[in-house]
Amino acid sequence: MKLIGKHIDKEGSGYVSLRPEDDEDMWHLYNLIQEGDQVRAPAIRRVQNVSATGSTDSHRVRLNLTLEVVRVEFTPAITSSTADTTNPNSTTSADVTASIQISGRVTAENQHVKMGAFHTLDIEVNRDIRIIKDEWDSIALNRVEEACVPGRGAEVAAVVCGEGTAAFVLLSEHLTTIRHRLTTSIPRKSSSSSMHEKGMAKFYSQLYAAFLRHIPYASPTIKVIVIASPGWIRDSVYDYIIKESERTGNKALLRAVREKGVRIHVSSPHVHSLVEVLKSPEITAQLKETKFAKEGITLDKFFKMLGSDEMRAWYGPDHVALAIDRGAVGTLLISDQLFRASDPAERKKYVGLVEAVRDKGGEVVIFSSMHESGQQLNQLSGIAAILTFPLDVEVVEAEEREAKEAEEEKRRAEAEAAGNDS
C-alpha cells in the first residue's frame, strides 16, 4: 500500500489517501472504510448529450466522485474453474483479483452527477482512494501504518494435495489466497494398475506446471513452501518437483524447494487443514514472528486453557469486558470483523476494550477473519481472553449485579432524601 497523502487534526478527524497494490491492501481498505465515512475515488460514468437537432450522443466519462458510505462489500480474490479441453476429467482455473464495492450518496458537486444521487464505486488495485473520517481511532490508524510498511507480501506458499486434487495457496499476514485449484480423475488401482500410474503421472505433471505458474518460489518474502497431504502424496509431489527441476535445469526452483520446502501431514486435502500446518513445530519454528502464525499459536493456547483451566479462558463480549475491568486479561483475542460494525458505538466499545488491555500491560492479538484461525474465533463470538489469574464468571456476574443494585439503592435513597427536604 502506498500512502499518497494524510491530514488528521488534533480532534482525530481528517483524511488518508491510499493506493492499494495487491489483494491484501484491498482487505486493509475494506477494514478501514465504515458506514458514514466519506470516500473519494475515480469512477466511470456514461453521459448522454442532446444536440440542438435532438440527436443524442452517449459516451463514457472518467471522473472523481465523493460518496458518503452506506454499504461496503469485499469480493475476495477467487479462482474460477474451467474444464481442461485435453482432458474432460480435469479442471484448471483463472485468477480474479480482490475488489471492493462502495455504495452511497454523492456529497460533492460534480458536473455529471447530481448531489445526493446514489452511486456505487468499484475500488480496484492501483487506483487511488481517499478515506475521510470524523474520527480516526487507534485501530484504524494502526492499520494504515501497518498496511504501508514496505516489503510486505506472502510469507508462506502451500500446496495442499490429495490423490488427484491440489490447492495452491498463499498466506500473508492478513489474507489466505487460493491461487489455483487442480482436480484430475485418477483411475482406481483395482481396475488397472497401469491406468492408475498413468493418471498419477499426468496429475504430477499438471501439478508441477501449476506450481511454476502460481507459487512465487523465488520471492524473498516467501519463508516456507509447504507441501501437505493426508497420506504419501506429499512425498511423491516433493520428489517429482525436485526431479523435474533437475531435469529442466531450473536451479532457482531446486534451491527454493530444498531450502524452504517442508512436507507436513494433514487430516484432509482441503484448504482449512492449513490450521494444522500452522500449529506444526516445523512451521512455528520458522514463522514464530509472523502475524498469522501468532494467531494460530494464540488460539491454540486459548483452547488448551479452556480445556485445562476454564476459569482462565473467557469468551463473549460481556464476559471479556468484565475480565478486562478486573484487570485479569493477559492476552486478548479479537477478530477484525468486530471493528467493521455498522454501529459506531459498537466499534468504539471494542476499540475501548483493546486500548484498556494495552494500557494495563496486556497483549492484544487482532485476528484476520480471512484466515482459518480468525474464522474459528468468530465462532466464539469473535472475542476471547486468556486470563492471568482465574475468575469465576458466576461470582463476577453476581458481584456486578450487587454493585448495580447497591448503586440503584443509593440513588433511590438520595431521591427520597431530596423529596423530604423539599
Q: What is the pLDDT of residues 409-418, one digit of tens each?
A: 888 877 777 7
pLDDT at 93 > cutoff 80: no
From edge to edge, which strands make up the β-sheet containing 261-265?
Answer: 78-84, 87-96, 176-184, 165-171, 156-162, 224-229, 261-265
Q: Where, residue-wise, is CATH 2.30.30.870 in the chain?
A: 2-147
Q: Could you tell me the pLDDT band of residue 79, with boundaries at 50, 70 and 90?
A: low
pLDDT at 329 > cutoff 90: yes
How far is residue 278 CA from its own chain's centroid?
Answer: 16
Q: Where, residue-wise, is CATH 3.30.1330.30 in the chain?
A: 291-391
- Percent of the chain residues past pLDDT 90, beyond the cut: 48
φ, ψ dihedrals at 63, nearest 5°: -150, 170
Q: Could you tell me the pLDDT band of residue 86, with boundaries at 50, 70 and 90?
A: very low
pLDDT at 48: 67
pLDDT at 23 > cutoff 70: yes
In terms of pLDDT, which residue wins out, 341 or 377? 377
Q: What is the CATH number of domain 291-391?
A: 3.30.1330.30
pLDDT at 47: 67
* CATH superfamily, region 156-287: eRF1 domain 2 (3.30.420.60)
pLDDT at 83 > cutoff 50: no
pLDDT at 94 > cutoff 70: no
pLDDT tens-digit series, residues 38-66? 999 988 777 666 666 666 767 777 888 99
- pLDDT, average across residues 86-109: 69
DSSP 368: P
pLDDT at 14: 95
Which residue shows C-alpha cell 488518508?
Answer: 16
Q: Could you tell me the pLDDT band of residue 91, with boundaries at 50, 70 and 90?
A: very low
- pLDDT, average across residues 168-190: 85
3-state secondary structure of 342: coil
Query: How many whole angstroms separate alpha carbon 364 and alpha carbon 384?
Result: 10
Nearest residue to 301 via CA among 200, 233, 387, 379: 387
- Percent of the chain residues past pLDDT 70, beyond the cut: 88
What are the contacts of 319-322 at 24+ separation with CB within 8 A? 319/393, 320/353, 320/383, 320/384, 320/385, 321/353, 322/391, 322/393, 322/396, 322/397, 322/400
- One-letter amino acid at 419 equals G
Cβ-proximal residues to 123 (8 Å cutoff; 6+ apart), any chain: 20, 26, 29, 41, 99, 100, 101, 102, 129
Q: Where, residue-wise, is CATH 3.30.420.60 in the chain?
A: 156-287
Q: First and final CA of the chain: distance in angstroms?
A: 66
- One-letter amino acid at 202 equals K
DSSP 270: S
3-state secondary structure of 40: strand
Q: Which CATH architecture has domain 2-147?
A: Roll (2.30)
pLDDT at 167 > cutoff 50: yes
pLDDT at 110: 78
- pLDDT, average across residues 231-251: 93
Query: How many whole angstroms separate alpha carbon 257 and alpha carbon 248?
Result: 15
Query: How many whole angstroms separate alpha carbon 310 and alpha carbon 104?
Result: 45
